[in-house]
Amino acid sequence: MAQSERDILRLCVVTETYPPEINGVANTLRYWVQGLEQRGHGIHLIRPRQKGERPERADGERHRRETLTPGLPIPGYSGLRFGLPIYRQMRRLWCKSSPDAVYIATQGPLGHAALSAARAAGIPTLTGFHTQFHQYSGHYGLGLLSHWVASVLRRFHNRSGATLAPTEQLRAELVGSGFERVHVLGRGVDTELFDPHRGREDLRGSWGCGPGETAVLYVGRLAAEKNLGLALHAFEDIASRFPHARLVLVGDGPELARLRHVRPEPVLTGAKVGAELAEHFASGDLFLFPSLTETFGNVVPEAMASGLAVIAFDYGAAGVWINSGENGVTVPRGDADAFRKAALTVACDEARLRTMGEGARATAEAMSWGRVVGDLEKLLFEVIDRHRTEHRRETLAATTK
């Protein structure tokens, strides 16, 4: 099946998170699914039903159908659920109507069952390395299990026809750890949604920021694995020079209650989505991203598209898109002192802060989701073609014995 024939694919996407959930995996999948639908491909989405959810079909989703599965709450991740391993149900679905390929985004019970069911049915599979679960374990008292988790992930992904990683750096790390058939598929950003012109003075005022005062932002999950302590220390350095500066934490999570008692007290907005999230980004001045456990970090290009200078470690999205000193600053991964120094240095130079923000916006304008979806489509055709070639070879070998 050559891609030039512009065949219409029937693709099944299996994931344990999808909008309205708020996280990078769900956000990425939304753009992928919508982009493939716009190219005419049919999508069957299998995911857990979320608490209180009433599935609604949005305009333009004519090619999509959904199967909502039973699920259970994820410990420590309020509002999210993992899907139960409905192996037999998926086998029955795919026996009635076999998709051209199955993309499995998550490595929970539902994802494992989907991979086994697809392989048993002879359907080509791709898996996504979206989350560094083995790195998370140390932040939840399970550090001794990190090597075991990494081994489980490797076995899972090596059973698929391809594993998609968002950066070349991560691809190299995975290959070095024994992962096979790893391909790079980047990420994009919606530059119409995330735009500097969405900034609001009244919103800044609600944070306690007057004219000329600095609003320092963090956007993301408020959780131990996000290394928020470093952002707090970096802001303390800034506040010691600029007492009227404000730290704004946009997000929700298990650390929220503790953060209410931090001094200097940050502004805690809760989780935001859509235009409201874009307004929060665009109303800030400086973006701190201290996480060391990201697979990519979608909030980095969102901050850049919003015209913010970003301070981050040199990996993931920051390692790909930031040219340090021009459109943000990256520091060696894990160097907390360098991170704090960079945050203070940039915050103290208003002209540099503005110039970096303009450079960040210019860089973001090249991050097209359309390009990413085109690359995904190409990979899908390649995996399907390879699977069919291998099947023909195996059939021929069996008949000539």
Closest CA to 76 of 296, 259, 225: 225
Half-sphere exposure of residue 335: CA atoms within 13 angstroms, side-chain side? 15
| CA end-to-end span of the chain | 28
pLDDT for the residue 6? 54
Mean pLDDT of 216-243: 95
Domains of the chain: 3-188+368-399 (3.40.50.2000), 196-364 (3.40.50.2000)
Exposed/middle/buried for 183, CB within 10 Å: 0-12, 13-18, 19+? middle
Contact predicate 254/272, CB 8 Å? no
Q: How many residues does the chain have?
A: 401
CA 139 to chain centre: 19
Mean pLDDT of 58-84: 70
Q: How many CB atoms lie within 10 A of CB 166?
A: 25
Q: Give the pLDDT score at 234.
A: 97
pLDDT digit string, tens, across residues 172-201: 999 999 999 999 999 999 999 999 999 999
Mapping DSSP to helix (H, G, I), strand (E, B) and coil, where does residue 56 land? coil
H or E element that contains 249: strand 246-250
For helices 336-347 and 350-364, the axis angle rounded to 10 degrees is 110
pLDDT of residue 224: 87
Residue 162, pLDDT > 70, answer yes
Name the phi and psi angles at 71, rounded to 5.
-150, 170
Give backbone dihedrals phi and psi of 310, rounded to 5 degrees, phi first: -115, 135
Say if CB 44 and CB 114 are below 8 A apart: no
**Apex 330 CA angle, 327 and 331, nearest 5:** 155
Q: For residue range 126-140, list pLDDT tens digits in order.
A: 999 976 543 444 434
Residue 233 confidence (pLDDT) above 80: yes
pLDDT per residue as tens digits for the range 275-294? 999 999 999 999 999 999 89
Q: Distance (Å, rounded) from C-alpha 167 to C-alpha 306?
A: 22
Decide: 127 and 164 in contact? Cβ < 8 Å: yes
Compute the distance between CA of residue 284 and CA of residue 308 in angstroms, rounded to an integer.
Answer: 7
Q: What is the pTM of this model?
A: 0.87
Residue 389 confidence class, pLDDT cut points 50, 70, 90: confident
Smallest CA-to-CA distance from 108 within 84, 75, 124 is with 84
Least confident of 61-75, 200-214, 327-341: 61-75
pLDDT over 60 (residue 58):
no
- pLDDT confidence of residue 131: 66
Alpha helices in 252-334 (DSSP H): 256-259, 274-282, 299-305, 316-321
Residue closest to 251 by CA, chosen among 18, 24, 29, 81 = 24
Q: Is the pLDDT of residue 77 over 70?
A: no
Q: By the 8 A CB rule, do 252 and 182 touch?
A: no
Report how far residue 195's alpha carbon sits from residue 181's, in angstroms, rounded to the nearest whole number.
Answer: 37
Give the pLDDT score at 393.
Answer: 78
- Whole-number pLDDT of residue 134: 38
Q: Which residue has the higher pLDDT, 260 or 80?
A: 260
Neighbours of 10 (CB within 10 A): 15
